[in-house]
Structure 1
Amino acid sequence: MRILIVEDEKVLAETVRRGLRNEGFVVDLAHDGVSGMRAAMENPYDVILLDLMLPLKNGYDVLKEIREHRIWTPVLMLTAKDGEYDQTDAFDLGADDYLTKPFSFLVLVARIRALIRRGAPERPVVLAVGTLTLHSVSRGVRRGDTPIWLTAKEYALLHYLMRRHEQVVSKSEILDNVWDSAFEGGDNVVEVYVGYLRRKIDTPFGLRTLTTVRGMGYMLSPDRPADSPASAVD
C-alpha cells in the first residue's frame, strides 16, 4: 500500500513516515502544496495525508484541484486547526477524514486502514436522495425547488448521511465523521442535530426520510410520506 504525506513540518512528517513504513506501507513525502499536488497527480496512492497549512499552495487548494482532475484517492486532512468550519470546508471539497494535531499514531493508522478498505468511489458534485439535493461546491441544499438553509454542522451531517443514503449509520460513525476527533461531548449531540435536520428537510414537506433505526442508528432514504406505516424504523 502506498501513502503520500504532504506535510511541511519535516520532523513530524519523517516521524509519521518511519512509523508507517514499520506498518508495511510504502511512503512518499512532499513538504509543500505544489510538490504534493504534483505527486498526487502523477502517482497512484491508496491514501493521501494532507496538511491544511502548507507553503506555496494550501491544503484546501490542493484538495480542490486534485478532485477537479477526477483523482478520487482517499484524503485524510491533518491540521492544527480544530474549528468546525475547517472540517466542513474540507469535507465539501472532497476530504474523506480529518485529524487534528497532536494525534495518536495508532488512531492515524486505524483511520488509514479504514480509508483503504472503503476505497475511492467517485464523488459527484451534486448529491441527490429523492427530491433532496445537495450541491457540494455552492453548499446549496434544496427539497425540490425549495432552498433549505442549514448551519455548518447541520450541513456536514446531511452531507455524510447523503453519501451513506439507504445505509444505517451508528451514532459513533456519525461522531467519527462529522465531529472532530477531539470532541469530548456525549453522543446525544447526534440526536440533537438529527432533530434539527428533520425539522428542516422533512417536517415542512410532510415527509419522513431521516429515520431512526431502533438500537442501530439512523438512515436517510428517498421521499417517504410522514404518515407511512410505523416499523422498526421511526
Structure 2
Amino acid sequence: MRILLVEDDHHLAASLSEALEAQRYTVDVAHDGDIAWQQMTLLSYDLMLMDITLPQVDGLTLCQRLRSHGVVSPVLMLTARDTSGDKVAGLDAGADAYMVKPFDLSELIAQIRALLRRGQMAPPTTLQWELLQLNPTTYDVTYQDIPIRLTPKEFAILELLLRHGRRVLSRHFILESIWQLDDPPGEETVKAHLKALRQKLCKAGAPKNFIETMHGLGYRLN
C-alpha cells in the first residue's frame, strides 16, 4: 500500500513516515501542496494524509482539487484546528476522516487501516498462485503449507507479482511501486531482492522458474 504524507513540519513528517514504514506501508512525503499535487498526478496512492495549513496550496484546496479530478482514494486530514467548523470544512472539502494534533499514533494507524479497508472493493483475504498463498493482512506466506519468512521488501515484491499475475513487471515499475520516491535505490537492488526471494521459494519446494525472468522486459509469475 502506498501513502502520500503531506506535512510541512519536517520533524513530524519524518517520525510519521518512519512509523508508517514500520507497518509495511510505502510512504512518500511532500512538504507543500504544490509538490503534493505534482506527485498525485504521477502516481496512484491508496491513501493520503494531509495537514490543512500548508505552503503554496492548503489542504482544503488540495482535497477539493483531488475530488474534482475524480480521485477517490481516502483522505485523512491531520491538523491542529479543532473546532466543529474546521472539521465540517475538512469533510465538506472531500476528506474521509479528520484527526486533531496531537494525536495518538496507534489510533492514527488504526484509522488508516479502517480507511484502506473501506477503500478496497472486496479485498481478498489471501492471494494465491498455484501452491503459494500470501495473506496481505497477517503477512503470512506459505508454499505447500510450508511457512516462508520474508523481509518486508521481499514480501512487497511477491505481493506485487501476485496482484498482477502474468503481467510482466519491469524493475522500474517495481521500484516505483515499493520504494520511496525521494530515495530510490538502483535497479540492481530489485535484482538482489528477487534472487533472495527465489531462493526462499525454492527452499520451500517451489520450482526454480516460479518467478520468470523475461529478458529485457522484467518479471512475472510462471
TM-score category, normalised to shorter length: 0.5 to 0.7
Separation of aligned partners in 2, 1:6 and 1:66: 13
| TM-score of the aligned structures, taking structure 1 as reference length | 0.50
Tell me how large the CA RMSD over aligned residues is. Answer: 1.2
How big is the shift at 1:7? 0.2
| TM-score of the aligned structures, taking structure 2 as reference length | 0.53
List runs of 5+ in structure 1 lacking aligned partners: 122-234
Aligned to 1:76: 76
Aligned to 2:34: 34
How big is the shift at 1:40? 1.9
Aligned to 1:13: 13
Over 3 Å counting, the alpha-carbon distance change for 1:35 and 1:13 in structure 2 is same
SS, match of residue 54 in structure 1: coil
SS, match of residue 89 in structure 1: helix
SS, match of residue 55 in structure 1: coil
**How many residue pairs are counted as aligned between the two chains?**
121
Aligned to 2:45: 45
Is 1:3–1:45's contact at 8 Å kept on the other side of the alignment?
A: yes
List runs of 5+ in structure 2 lacking aligned partners: 122-222
Describe the superposition over 1:146-191 as per-residue Cα deviations: whole angstroms up to 9, x where unpaired. xxxxxxxxxxxxxxxxxxxxxxxxxxxxxxxxxxxxxxxxxxxxxx
1:2 pairs with 2:2: yes
1:163-174 matches, within 5 Å, as: none
Is 1:41–1:66's contact at 8 Å kept on the other side of the alignment?
A: no
How big is the shift at 1:41? 2.5
1:47-196 matches, within 5 Å, as: 47-119=47-119
Describe the superposition over 1:168-224 as per-residue Cα deviations: whole angstroms up to 9, x where unpaired. xxxxxxxxxxxxxxxxxxxxxxxxxxxxxxxxxxxxxxxxxxxxxxxxxxxxxxxxx
SS, match of residue 49 in structure 2: strand
Divergent runs of 4+, >3 A: none
The percent of aligned pairs where both chains have the same amino acid is: 42
How big is the shift at 1:49? 0.1
Describe the superposition over 1:80-114 as per-residue Cα deviations: whole angstroms up to 9, x where unpaired. 11011111111111100000100111011000000
How big is the shift at 1:120? 6.5
AA in 1 matched with 2:69: H
